[in-house]
Amino acid sequence: MDQLERLTKMAEDELTEYSTDARKMEKLRRKIGISVSAAQQKEVKAALLTQVASSGIAKLVEEQRQTIALPFWGMAGLGLLGGISLAQWVGFLVAIGGAVAAYRLQKWGWELEAKRLLLNTLEDIEARIANPQKSD
C-alpha cells in the first residue's frame, strides 16, 4: 500500500468519529507528522491535487452523498417489494441494482471526503511550517 492510500485510510478512520473538522485535522496532523516525512507529504499533496474532485458531479457527491444515494435506496426497496408481492424476478434485479448503485455512490463520496480532509490537513501542515508564530 503506497503512502497516499495509507493516508487516505487514516483520514477515513478520522471521518468515522463524531467531532469537528478542526479536531479531525488535529488528530490527523499528529499521525501524519509521526509517519510521513516532509518530502513524502509534498508528493502525496501533489498526487491529491490531481485526484481531488473539481468537477461538478464529484463535488456534489462529496458533499451530499447520502442525498444522492437516497433515490437508489428507494429503488432497491421498491424493487424488493415488487419482487416479493408480485413474485416477479425483475423486481429482484431492480432491488439488487439499486442497492449496488447506492452503496457505490456512498463509498465514492466517503473516499472523496476523506481525500479532501487529507488535502486540507496537508495544506494546514505546510501553513504551520511556513508561519510557526500563527499556529496555536
User: Tell me, what's the pLDDT at 135?
Assistant: 54
Residue 135 lies in a domain: no
Whole-number Å distance between alpha carbons of 72 and 3: 34
Domain boundaries, position 91: 3-130
Question: What pTM does this model have?
Answer: 0.82
Residues in the chain: 136
Give pLDDT tens digits along the chain (136 positions). Answer: 488 889 889 999 888 888 888 898 999 999 888 888 888 888 888 888 888 767 788 888 988 999 999 999 999 999 998 888 888 888 899 999 999 999 999 999 999 999 999 999 999 988 888 887 765 5
User: Tell me, what's the pLDDT at 96?
Assistant: 95
User: Tell me, what's the pLDDT at 136?
Assistant: 55
| Host H or E run for residue 94 | helix 89-130
Residue 31: other Cβ atoms inside 10 A = 15
Residue 136 lies in a domain: no
> 83: left (phi > 0), else alpha (psi -120 to 50), else beta?
alpha
Residue 13 lies in a domain: yes
Residue 112 lies in a domain: yes
Residue 75 lies in a domain: yes
Whole-number Å distance between alpha carbons of 129 and 123: 10
Q: Are 36 and 7 in contact (CB under 8 A)?
A: yes
Residue 122 lies in a domain: yes
Whole-number Å distance between alpha carbons of 71 and 76: 9
Q: Are 105 and 81 in contact (CB under 8 A)?
A: no
Q: In total, how many domains does the chain have?
A: 1
Among residues 58, 57, 100, which one has the least CA distance to residue 75? 100
Residue 17 lies in a domain: yes
